[in-house]
Amino acid sequence: MDFFRNKRAAKQAIPTSSNKPRSTKWHRMYFFLAGFDVLVVVLSVLLNHLIVDTYHRSIKANQSWVQQLSSYSTLGSLASAVNAPGNNVFDTHNVEAESRNMNEALRAFNEHLAMAKKQLEVRIANETEHSADVQAFTLALKDEVGAVDAAMVEMVNEALLIFSYFREGQSDDAGKRMATMDRKFALLLASLSTVRDRVGLIQSNLLEEELESVEELRRVEYAIMVFVLLMVSAAVIYGGKIRREMESQAAEREGYLAVLRESEKQARQQASLLDKAQDAIVVHGMDNRILYWNKSAERLYGLSKEEALGKSAQELIYQGSTAFNAATNSLIETGDWADEVTLRRRDGCTITLESHRTLVRDDDGQPQSVLSINTDITHRKTAEQEVQRLAFYDQLTGLANRRLMLDRLQHLLAGSSRSLHTYAIILIDLDNFKALNDTLGHDRGDMLLQQVALRLCGCIRESDTVARLGGDEFVVLLDGLNENPPEAAIQAKAIGEKILKSLNISYQLDGYEHHSTPSLGIALFQGQLSTVDDIMKRADLAMYRAKAAGRNTMRFFDPEMQAVATARARLEVDLRQGLQDNEFLLHYQPQVNSEGRIIGAEALMRWQNPERGVVFPGEFIPLAEETGLILPLGRWALQAACTQLVAWAKHSETARLGMAVNVSARQFHHPDFVEEVLQVLRHTGADPKKLKLELTEGLLIEDMEGTVAKMIELKEIGIGLSLDDFGTGYSSLSYLKSLPLDQLKIDQSFIRDVLVDPNDAAIACAIVSLSQILGLSVIAEGVETEAQRIFLVKHGCQTYQGFLFSPPLPAEQFEAYVHERLMASTDFPRSKTKSP
> pLDDT per residue over 727-771, tens digit each?
665 555 666 777 889 999 998 889 999 999 999 899 899 999 988
Query: Is the distance from CB of 295 to CB of 275 less than 8 angstroms?
Result: yes
Query: Is the distance from CB of 106 to CB of 75 less than 8 angstroms?
Result: no
More confidently predicted of 231 and 155: 155
Which range among 113-127, 353-367, 504-518 shows the weakest confidence by mean pLDDT?
Answer: 113-127
Query: Is the distance from CB of 707 to CB of 668 less than 8 angstroms?
Result: yes
Please state, for a pLDDT cut of 70, what percent of the chain lies above it.
81
Query: Is the distance from CB of 580 to CB of 564 less than 8 angstroms?
Result: no
pLDDT score, position 129: 63
Average pLDDT over every residue of 69-78? 76
pLDDT score, position 20: 46
Kindly indicate the confidence band of residue 254, based on its pLDDT and cuts at 50, 70 and 90: confident
Contacts 24+ apart (CB under 8 A), 609-615: 609/574, 609/578, 609/583, 610/583, 611/574, 612/574
| Closest C-alpha to 373, from 390, 387, 391, 353 | 353
Alpha helices in 271-308 (DSSP H): 295-301, 305-308
Q: Which residues pair with 781 in a beta bridge?
A: 801
Q: Is the pLDDT of residue 133 over 50?
A: yes
Of the CA atoms within 13 Å of residue 629, those in its CB half-sphere come to 17
pLDDT score, position 829: 45
> pLDDT per residue over 622-675, tens digit each?
889 888 899 999 999 999 999 999 999 999 999 999 999 999 988 998 999 999
Query: Is the distance from CB of 600 to CB of 648 less than 8 angstroms?
Result: no
Q: Which residues of 337-351 are buried (b: 16+ CB within 10 A; e: fewer)?
A: beeebebeeeeeeeb
| Closest C-alpha to 179, from 353, 448, 390 | 390
Distance CA 607, CA 616 (A): 7
Alpha helices in 528-606 (DSSP H): 532-548, 559-580
Distance CA 174, CA 158 (A): 10
Average pLDDT over every residue of 324-343? 82
**Residue-averaged pLDDT of the chain:** 81
Distance CA 429, CA 472 (A): 6
Distance CA 192, CA 70 (A): 12
pLDDT score, position 25: 52
> pLDDT per residue over 680-718, tens digit each?
999 999 999 999 999 887 766 667 788 889 999 999 999
pLDDT score, position 495: 92
pLDDT score, position 777: 93
More confidently predicted of 270 and 383: 383
pLDDT score, position 806: 93
Q: Environment class of residue 654 by beta-carbon count within 10 Å: exposed (0-12), middle (13-18) or buried (19+)?
A: buried
Distance CA 370, CA 281 (A): 11
Tell me the backbone φ, ψ of residue 746, rounded to 5 degrees.
-75, 125
Query: Is the distance from CB of 681 to CB of 688 less than 8 angstroms?
Result: yes
Average pLDDT over every residue of 342-369? 82
pLDDT score, position 575: 92
pLDDT score, position 804: 92
Distance CA 149, CA 142 (A): 11
pLDDT score, position 62: 63
pLDDT score, position 481: 84
Average pLDDT over every residue of 143-159? 83
Please enumerate in sequence order all residues whose Cβ is within 8 A of that of 3, keeping only pairs 6 or more positions apart, or say none. Answer: 34, 249
SS3 content of the chain, % helix, strand, coil (to 5): 60, 15, 20
For residue 343, give Cα distances in angstroms to 260, 362, 405, 634, 789. 43, 30, 31, 71, 92
Q: Is the pLDDT of residue 512 over 60?
A: yes
> pLDDT per residue over 541-574, tens digit each?
999 989 988 899 989 887 665 566 678 878 889 9
Query: Is the distance from CB of 284 to CB of 370 less than 8 angstroms?
Result: yes
Strand pairing of 658-663 and 598-609? parallel
pLDDT score, position 12: 44
Query: Is the distance from CB of 205 to CB of 61 less than 8 angstroms?
Result: no
Average pLDDT over every residue of 305-331? 77
Q: Is the pLDDT of residue 510 over 70?
A: yes
Domains in the chain: ranges and CATH: 2-14+25-270 (no CATH), 279-383 (3.30.450.20), 400-557 (3.30.70.270), 585-608+641-823 (3.20.20.450)
Q: Environment class of residue 635 by beta-carbon count within 10 Å: exposed (0-12), middle (13-18) or buried (19+)?
A: middle
pLDDT score, position 257: 81
Which range among 198-207, 412-421, 526-535, 590-599 shows the weakest confidence by mean pLDDT?
Answer: 412-421
* Number of CB atoms found within 10 A of residue 730's CB: 11
Please enumerate in sequence order all residues whose Cβ is within 8 A of that of 815, keeping only pairs 6 or more positions apart, or say none. Answer: 648, 651, 653, 654
> pLDDT per residue over 423-482, tens digit each?
899 999 999 888 888 888 889 999 999 999 999 999 988 888 999 988 899 999 998 888
Query: Is the distance from CB of 213 to CB of 54 less than 8 angstroms?
Result: yes
Distance CA 188, CA 82 (A): 11
Kindly indicate the confidence band of residue 234, based on its pLDDT and cuts at 50, 70 and 90: low
Tell me the backbone φ, ψ of residue 803, rounded to 5 degrees.
-70, -15
Kindly indicate the confidence band of residue 7, based on its pLDDT and cuts at 50, 70 and 90: very low
Strand pairing of 290-293 and 280-285? antiparallel
Please enumerate in sequence order all residues whose Cβ is within 8 A of that of 171, keeping only pairs 6 or more positions apart, or say none. Answer: 90, 165, 442
| Closest C-alpha to 384, from 606, 176, 185, 640 | 185
Distance CA 394, CA 373 (A): 38
The greatest distance separating any two alpha carbons of the chain, rounded to the nearest whole angstrom, comes to 182
Give 828's DSSP letter.
P
Please report which helix (H) or strand (E) contains residue 692, including its range.
strand 691-695
> pLDDT per residue over 162-220, tens digit each?
888 888 888 777 787 888 888 888 888 888 888 778 777 777 777 777 677 767 767 77
* Number of CB atoms found within 10 A of residue 453's CB: 19
The answer for 122, left when phi > 0, alpha when psi is -120 to 50, beta otherwise, is alpha
Distance CA 473, CA 518 (A): 10
Please enumerate in sequence order all residues whose Cβ is within 8 A of that of 563, keeping only pairs 6 or more positions apart, or say none. Answer: none
> pLDDT per residue over 18-69, tens digit each?
444 444 555 566 566 666 667 766 776 776 667 666 666 666 666 666 666 6
More confidently predicted of 315 and 635: 635
Average pLDDT over every residue of 521-550? 85
| Closest C-alpha to 624, from 568, 562, 671 | 568
Average pLDDT over every residue of 769-796? 92
